[in-house]
Amino acid sequence: MKLSTKYLIIIVMSMFIFPVSFIGVNFLYYFTLTKIIVHPERTYYDPKELKVKWLQVIDRLEGLSEVEIISGLRQAMQYKDSQVSWLGENGQVLMTEPESNGKHNSWNIFDVFELVNQEEDSEFFTIVRFLKGEHTEGYVLLEVPRQLIGSQWESLRDKYYFLWFGAMGIIWMIFVFVSWLFFNQLRKRLVVMQENMEREGEGGIPLTVVVEKEDEIGQLEHSFNRMVEQLNTSRAKEQHEMELRKNLVANLSHDLRTPLTIIRGHAFRIDRDRLSEEDRKSLEVINDKVHFLGDLIDNLSSLTLLNAGKLPMNIMSTDVRRVIRASLSAWYPIFEQKDFLVEVELKHSIVWDIDETWLKRILNNLFQNIIRHAASGKYVYVQCLRTDESEVLIISDRGPGLHTVSMHKGIGIGLSIVTIMLEQLRLEHVWETSDKGTSITIFKKNSDQE
């Protein structure tokens, strides 16, 4: 059954639960009390019927002699635990039945009127009627115990009223429990689905869920399982393509390094010969492109290993300032040859938990990028800065910016390697570039600020 149908049933039940339960409980309550809970030893007198019958008896005794009236009253006295009295106008007791009860022996006419006006919550239900005989007249009193007055249904209803409230309470509790059970099952199924979404399986892909019911949530679970299957298929396809790319790059790197080595050897041999100025410039271009192609092959191999997570990384406490100095020492002759102005501010020592080899590769790629794409600015600035909040490494140039097209413009593999390495080393970085230069700020927040 669909969830929408179940929910509609609950709404309809909530609309009709009160009138239906009220009618049903009343019927069962009446049937139980009158048909099942029976008290044959109990006697019940309907007040209206009792009064009519008793007044008919009094009317039949009108005008009879005192003896006949007393005899008629005693014959009519058939009500259980009751008493009938005939009191004269002057207060004398003409007759009492049963005679053992002399409660009216000292009564007068005023007591009779007080008895007529007594409250309904008194001990006895009393009927008073004036009776005039042949020679004697007075008031006839019929007193019936209050607990015998009323129908059997009314008596039992007053006694077992808690059953009615109990039955109504049980029905409402069942309705509330069924509603709670419905929504609790929905919540549990959604929670299970959420837990499966958050629980990562192989490759970080969520696990499939077991579909138990073919309702709306079941359809959602089917859709979720199809999504997981598509993710697994895509992941397998991606891994297969990545393996193909890695093999392709590895094969190309191997195949290209051999001719590059041969080209370098022949270029070196030619450089030893006497060449014209024009030939020497051409040879410099050949050497530059060979070096560029060699660096490109190295970057492609490194990028492939980085994306596959297979480039070795050895994290240890590293003096960043020492690594920068070593890297600048290697690059300084090249900057000097290109007439670069190199400004260095390494006043503050910085120690990071990183891989020293990776940091050298990052610095080499950045300096190489400056040589190739920012040579027109002929400026390099390196600074180590430590503040209360973070430790910062800044490298900047005065080139035309990253967005400018140059003859050495590539596809940005070197800077992509820098970005990936910084992310895997958990170092934050910010690029700032314009036509007046490019700057990268590498920083790591202090542990008490994280």
Read off the pLDDT of residues 166-214 as tens digits, 9 standing for 90 and up. Answer: 788 888 788 888 888 878 888 887 787 777 777 777 667 777 878 877 7
SS3 2: coil
Burial of 309 (0-12, 13-18, 19+ CB in 10 A): exposed
pLDDT digits (tens, 9 = 90+) for 351-361: 999 999 889 88
Mean per-residue pLDDT, 361-379: 89
Q: Quickly state the pLDDT bin for 261 (edges 50, 70, 90).
A: confident
pLDDT: which is higher, 415 or 160: 415
Cβ atoms of 356 and 448 closer than 8 Å: no
Specify the pLDDT at position 248. Answer: 66
- In Å, how far from its chain's centre is CA 31? 48
Q: Quickly state the pLDDT bin for 386 (edges 50, 70, 90).
A: confident
Mean per-residue pLDDT, 82-95: 79
Residue 207 is given by DSSP the state: P
**Residue entry with tokens 């009323």:** 150
Specify the pLDDT at position 380. Answer: 94
Cα end-to-end distance, the chain, whole Å? 52
Both tokens of 129, joined, read: 């009627």
Cβ atoms of 298 and 325 closer than 8 Å: no
The rounded distance, in Å, linking the Cα atoms of 435 and 428 is 24
Peptide bond into 98 cis (omega under 30): yes
The rounded distance, in Å, linking the Cα atoms of 185 and 172 is 20
Cβ atoms of 421 and 358 closer than 8 Å: yes
Both tokens of 383, joined, read: 């600074």
pLDDT: which is higher, 317 or 113: 317
pLDDT: which is higher, 46 or 442: 442
Specify the pLDDT at position 449. Answer: 46
pLDDT: which is higher, 115 or 435: 435
> What percentage of the chain has pLDDT greater than the value 70?
74
The rounded distance, in Å, linking the Cα atoms of 73 and 256 is 137
Contacts within 8 Å (CB) and 24+ apart, 113-120: 115/141
Mean per-residue pLDDT, 329-336: 89
E strand spans, 320-427? 341-345, 351-354, 379-386, 390-397
Q: What is the mean pLDDT of the chain?
A: 78
**Side-by-side strand order, sheet with 93-97:** 93-97, 83-88, 137-145, 124-132
Q: Quickly state the pLDDT bin for 93 (edges 50, 70, 90).
A: confident
Specify the pLDDT at position 448. Answer: 46
Whether the predicted pLDDT of 142 surpasses 80: yes
- By DSSP bridging, strand 137-145 and strand 83-88 are antiparallel
C-beta atoms surrounding 226 within 10 Å: 11
Burial of 80 (0-12, 13-18, 19+ CB in 10 A): exposed
pLDDT: which is higher, 63 or 249: 63
Specify the pLDDT at position 318. Answer: 92
Specify the pLDDT at position 450. Answer: 45
**Residue entry with tokens 């390697």:** 417
The rounded distance, in Å, linking the Cα atoms of 371 and 339 is 11
**Angle value at C-alpha 439, between 423 and 296, nearest 5 degrees:** 60
Mean per-residue pLDDT, 278-291: 74
pLDDT digits (tens, 9 = 90+) for 306-323: 766 677 888 999 999 999
